[in-house]
A and B are shown apart, each in its own frame.
Chain A
Amino acid sequence: MSGTNGTHAFVQPNGGGAQLAPAAGALLEVDGLSVAYGKARALHGVSLDIRAGEIVTVIGPNGAGKTTLVSTIAGLLRPQVGTVALGGERIDRRPTERVAVAGIRLVPERRHIFTSLTVRQNLAVGAFRPTGGGAAREEIERVFALFPALAAKANQLGGQLSGGQQQMLAIVRALVGRPRVLMLDEPTIGLAPQPVAELFDRIVALRDAGLAVLLVEQNVRGSLAIADRAYLLERGAVVTSGTAATLAADERVLRSYLGVA
């Protein structure tokens, strides 16, 4: 049941709560996740999976639960029902710090870089190991080699960078932690088209290097253009999913955002 490029064929019923056939070799598996904020139900039985070397994007209108989804995977929220597994190991009851150590790094909405620390210090924190360890400095040099634009600003305060540079910093800070899965929550918010294009380039490069990237985006066209597979989330449930190409042609996506056909 596998196609080319590491894509999968799925059972695709209409409506939410789709039971997906477990994909072979999935790195991160989310199964039947339900999360509530106090009274409000934010997620209903959401399942998804992602493999190494692919970009999966989660799209949907605002309030659909996209941020809730990645926050739960990252351990910031506790699900009422459902499981999250990384490489077969269950991680859904772990605190955020342990999830980060296990290999999932989230770059949160609005970046959250440390504005009062320099770029280099930001990265140093990203490479923080609770049990100590001196590999941090080598790690930082390595990423500086890969991102020379950032290296040029190594001693500038995070708060002084432009929006696009801050986004890059936030991503690189996550990368120094050597994650296996990188989750990005709406990285293009507030960015002009040029930085957005560069950002998407970078994400593709990371995917090509073998990273699993989970991209939550409101920029539907842009994310579908680079993604391998996509999930459409509406009111906390998966409405449809499939290859990026399939969803790009699906009028449900347009209706989901604008309510018109």
Chain B
Amino acid sequence: MEAFVQYLINGLAVGGVFALIAIGYVVVFRVVRIVNIAQGDLLAAATLVFLWLMNAHAGLPAAIAGAVAAALAAALFVERIAVTTGGWFDDLRAFLLTLAASQLIQGALLLLFGTQYLTMPASAPPIIAIGDVHVNGVYLLVIAIVVLALVGLVLFLERTPLGWAMLATADDPLAARLCAVPIRTMGVLAFAIAAVVAGIGGAAYGAVAIGSWNAGTTLSTAGFAAAVLGGMKNPTRAAIGGFVLGILQALVSGYAASYLQDPLTFVFLIVVLLAPALARRVARRRPRRAARAAAVAA
């Protein structure tokens, strides 16, 4: 039982990180219609900077600020690469460009930080008891942070005029332009939001896992799988997808083998992507004409 709860908490914490990545995808995709495959690398960069600063004893606030700054720098870099003055590239080119940006960021991280894994400086983590299960307090903090970030984002989007302008751009870019909304700026803002979210997520991830230069790819894929659950449109559903995937991964990793996490993500992605289409095809099956005619005659 204790093992199960541990897996659950662990899964929620990692899932929270997936949730943050997924939210980043959704915000950027809705406004700019680009799938930013480098989203996970933004987070990896933030994690590395966070852990590096923590190990240099810079203190928690500075480390978090550094994480966010790193993510922002990386995000704006991606935006510069994938978006052009004439407007946004078609889907395929933009996707390949974000892929290229991902490689560039990974290369930079490898050069800056080497192949060593970074972890939190050794110190006794706060243990919190739930019933007779002992849980690492840091995990709970991470979960709390994720929920806060999500709530903050939703509030921003739904309560502030700037948020409305972004939602409007996502809803109908043509109409937004006609209302004098500068949609290009909204695009940059979307990237910035995705970056802040990735920065916070990076710090959280560093607290519960490790920092390495190549973590970005797995994170990106998992985050994308979660985002797809929300139809690439709904941040709340995407966040839920992240938590679910995180828990599933923790369970698989704990009870089976840890290397099955990536195959699990693949299966999860396929199921999430194909299930709605399958359901629609089943629902749409119309009764045969003979049956309908018989029903009419009856």
Contact = CB atoms under 8 A, between A and B. Distances in A.
Interface of A: 74, 76, 95-98, 100-101, 105-108, 112-117, 121-122, 124-126, 128-130, 136, 173-174, 177
Given A96-B177, A96-B178, A114 B165 contact: no
Interface string B158-180: 00010011011001101111111
B175 A128 contact: no
A112 B172 contact: yes
14 contacts: A95-B177, A96-B178, A100-B177, A100-B178, A112-B172, A112-B175, A113-B172, A114-B175, A117-B167, A125-B161, A125-B181, A126-B179, A130-B182, A174-B178
A128 B172 contact: no
Contacts of B181: 97, 125, 128, 130
A108 B167 contact: no
B90 to A, nearest CB: 16
Given A114-B172, A116-B171, A130-B182, A97 B177 contact: yes
A125 B174 contact: no
B96 to A, nearest CB: 25
Instruction: Please name the 5 residue pairs, one residue from A and one from B, whose CB atoms are nearest each other, closest first.
Output: A100-B180, A112-B175, A96-B177, A125-B168, A114-B171
Contacts of A113: 172, 175
Contacts of A95: 177
Contacts, number: 73
Given A117-B167, A125-B168, A108 B180 contact: no
A112 B161 contact: no
A53 B266 CA distance: 63
A74 B175 CA distance: 12
Given A124-B164, A128-B165, A136-B161, A115 B178 contact: no
B174 A114 contact: no
- Determine the interface band of chain B, counting residues with CB < 8 A from chain A: 10 to 19
Given A108-B174, A108-B175, A136-B161, A114 B180 contact: no
Contacts of B172: 112-115
Contacts of B178: 74, 96, 100, 105-108, 112, 174
Contact of B171 (A108, A115, A129): A115
Nearest to A122: B168
B37 to A, nearest CB: 26
Given A128-B161, A128-B181, A177-B180, A116 B167 contact: yes
B108 to A, nearest CB: 34
B164 A100 contact: no
A129 B161 CA distance: 10
A128 B180 contact: yes
Contacts of A126: 179
Contacts of B164: 117, 121, 124-125
B177 to A, nearest CB: 4
Contact of B177 (A76, A117, A121, A177): A76
A116 B161 CA distance: 15
Given A100-B179, A174-B179, 12 more contacts: A97-B181, A106-B178, A107-B178, A108-B178, A113-B172, A115-B172, A117-B171, A122-B168, A128-B161, A128-B179, A130-B180, A136-B161
Nearest to B233: A116
Nearest to B174: A112
A254 B167 CA distance: 44
The listed residue with most B CB atoms (<10 A of its CB), out of A98, A101, A128, A129, is A128
